[in-house]
Chains A and B, each alone.
Chain A
Amino acid sequence: MLRALRVRQTALAPLILLTPAFTVMLFVVALPLAFSLYTSMTPYRLIRPETLDIFIGTRNYVRLWDNAAFWAAFWRTILFLAIALNAELLLGLGIALLINKLTWGQRTLRTIMMFPMMFSPILVGFQFKFIFNDNIGIVNNALQSLGLTDRAIPWLVDAQLAMFSIIVAEVWMSTSIFAILLLAGLLAMPRDPVEAAKVDGCNSWQVFRHITLPFLMPFIFIAMTIRSLDVARAYDIVHVMTGGGPAGRTELLWTLIARVGYDNARMGEANAMAYVSTLLSIAFTVFFFRKLMAARRYMGGAE
């Protein structure tokens, strides 16, 4: 009797410890998501509450299928993420390798690296809207003062340039997480394998390719996983900088959801889009989390 109790106690402990966490997540995320799923199957409009009771099945989703604006935003989002994440990874890797090479000032630089991490995305958006402003922005001012151009480049008005500016803001905000994690990886790296490879006749590129990079992979996956937890914060940046304009040319999935849901009050349709964006984020996170787990196992073997 006593024994049974004690055994059950150790089995019960994690359950008790995890209950608050899962309760909160259930109440604030899972339940609303279920509600969202239901709403996405109604023609719900904020201004006509009775429409919440009309069940229309998957009609919203079917309509999305033929919605050109949705698909444009969808593919633009994918493209945006692909460019931004790759740029962040490459820049972050470059910066980490660079700082790793420095013999002094490493700590100061690492501290400066953290600077963008504490900026609110909405602030980053504002900040780049400010510096890319065609009249008073520092970028145009600098280009003109240096005599490189005499016209005001419409950074946020031209569709291509606006997308470029948004990506610059996003990359500025998120590169540091890659740089910091990869630098930590480089600093933690044992010297022996590198030296062994050098003795074996590898040149610096080969050392990087065959020794350093494999060692860094888990760190890359951690950075990617952490990043994938809130890729959608790019919404804030776009919202401030262009609001999805000009003429919807910088519209991402997330700004489209806000527009359809809040500005046009078509909640049913917005929820359907929200579901698609949620699945996209989840797929993304699962992908990198899996990679991380695999890399962890592989690292464990090397230890």
Chain B
Amino acid sequence: MAEISLKKVVKSYGRTPVVHGIDLEIADNEFVVLVGPSGCGKSTTLRMIAGLEDISDGEIRIRGRLVNDLPPRKRNISMVFQNYALYPHMSVRDNLGFGLKIAGQSRSVVAERVAEAAGILGLSDLLDRLPAELSGGQRQRVAMGRAIVRHPDAFLFDEPLSNLDAKLRGQMRAEIKKLHQKVASTIVYVTHDQIEAMTLADRIVVMRDGHIDQVGTPMEVFNHPVNTFVAAFIGSPPMNQLPAVVDAGRLRLEDGTTIAVPERLRARVRAGQKLILGVRPDDISPEGYGLMEDGESDRVDLLVDIAEPLGMESLIYSRLAGQEVQAKLYGPRLVAPGERLTCRISLSRAHLFDAGTGRNLEAE
């Protein structure tokens, strides 16, 4: 139950900086997800909040208290590790109670809190087992239980689901979300999986190369990516990105195909400008088979490479201007390779990025 604040936080190993001055304000009870490809500095940032890495420069405050020089044990946070980090020589009960015991809590308090946490996570029957005797999902829950027994100011999660299989991952995602609702508290969660970020976060922090690219709610980040990187990273399948040049009020692709400039952006482009047109697969569909066909749109012809029928919808891999473009078809219709499809491209939901900087023209 605390706010966390990062000011110009820098981490460098020797002369090599890996986190370049991050600013981030996390509110009380907020669920914040740090997301980005491996090596973007998200885990390092989390470990600096935990106190497991020294902070090279800048300030980190938890509940208003400067924690830069505090060891982990004095920060009153708890952490769930990627490999769970359960103590292999201790039973589940002792794993859960370890932190309280170290803190010198009486035996009855430890037992009570362990029972409480075990109840919340459905571990009551497993208390006497050793970690080696548990399944992946159970280990994951013990790791979470160990975090909640201590009633910390904040929870830190470091890629907690990456060792689980796809089905279990979905299940645990839901449990983490429930947990956040049950034990209201600040959570900082690190993942490279954008689905986890979208489903769990109150706010997503997209990181790249030690910088923060964008901070926002899942919908903000999805609907208004500030640059091509965020656009490609958030959303699955990823957004199509087509290089284009502004020519006579239209966007000319490399093979000469032209597409209208979205109305809301007409004032922002000038002739000859090099841009990247970003359209999500959901927003390119064969005529009559789209999801949102009422908005502003334009037509484009696609040559189908392959189609993946998924039942009520199909994902279409096709070619446009020498580039692979993914499109979605909603409805029970089969598409054959080599087929030429006339598609509607939703301009109201399309984005234009500067070809040089990759920035969204609409981002300030």
Contacts and interface: CB of A to CB of B under 8 A. Distances in A.
Interface of A: 2-3, 6-7, 10
A2 B69 contact: yes
B13 to A, nearest CB: 12
7 contacts: A2-B69, A3-B68, A3-B69, A6-B54, A6-B69, A7-B54, A10-B54
SS class, residues of chain A in contact with chain B = helix
A3 B58 CA distance: 11
A220 B146 CA distance: 43
Interface string B61-104: 00000001100000000000000000000000000000000000
A2 B71 CA distance: 12
Contacts of A7: 54
Contacts of A6: 54, 69
A6 to B, nearest CB: 5
Interface in B88-123: none
Contacts of A3: 68-69
A267 B69 CA distance: 58
A3 B10 CA distance: 14
B75 to A, nearest CB: 14
A31 to B, nearest CB: 33
Contacts of B68: 3
Contacts of A2: 69
Nearest to B71: A6
A300 to B, nearest CB: 17
A6 B54 CA distance: 9
Nearest to A4: B69
Interface in B8-39: none
A3 to B, nearest CB: 5
A14 to B, nearest CB: 15
Contacts of B54: 6-7, 10
Nearest to A5: B69
Q: What are the 7 A-B residue pairs with the smallest beta carbon separation, nearest first?
A: A2-B69, A6-B69, A3-B69, A7-B54, A3-B68, A10-B54, A6-B54
B76 to A, nearest CB: 18
A3 B51 CA distance: 13
Contacts of B69: 2-3, 6
A3 B54 CA distance: 9
A6 B69 CA distance: 7
B113 to A, nearest CB: 31
Nearest to B69: A2
B11 to A, nearest CB: 12
A125 to B, nearest CB: 43
A2 B67 CA distance: 12
A50 B68 CA distance: 64
A7 B12 CA distance: 13
A51 B54 CA distance: 58
B61 to A, nearest CB: 15
A38 to B, nearest CB: 40
Interface in B42-71: 54, 68-69
A54 to B, nearest CB: 50
A205 B68 CA distance: 60
Nearest to A1: B69
B208 to A, nearest CB: 26
A233 to B, nearest CB: 37
Nearest to A11: B54
Nearest to A7: B54
A7 B68 CA distance: 11
Nearest to B55: A3
A2 B69 CA distance: 7
A10 B69 CA distance: 12
A231 to B, nearest CB: 38
A77 to B, nearest CB: 44
A6 B70 CA distance: 9
A265 to B, nearest CB: 54
A13 to B, nearest CB: 12
Nearest to B68: A3
A234 B310 CA distance: 72
A35 to B, nearest CB: 38
A44 to B, nearest CB: 48
Nearest to A2: B69
A9 to B, nearest CB: 10
B34 to A, nearest CB: 24
B152 to A, nearest CB: 22
Nearest to A6: B69
A197 B235 CA distance: 40
